[in-house]
Amino acid sequence: MKRQSLGLGFTLNSEGYILTNFHVIENATEIIVTLSEDKKEYKATVVGQTRSSTSPS
């Protein structure tokens, strides 16, 4: 079953790195980013993640 999710993040630099909350990408098999300026869609790859010690397991 395919599920969709929505989350917010912000661009860190001109290379396209984006920072968002862990729950936004948790269990994702595909990530598509849509920038508010041009509404274009971009495929994204997780390059790092940190789970807060207060996050449910």
3-state SS assignment for residue 10: strand
Tell me the whole-structure pTM to 2 decimals.
0.69
Q: What is the mean pLDDT of each run of 10 residues along the chain (57 residues)?
A: 80 91 89 89 91 63
Question: Which segments of 1-57 are extended strands (E)?
Answer: 9-11, 18-20, 31-34, 41-44
Per-domain residue ranges of the chain: 9-44
Specify whether the CB–CB gap between 9 and 19 falls below 8 A: yes
Per the listing, tokens 């860190």 go with 12
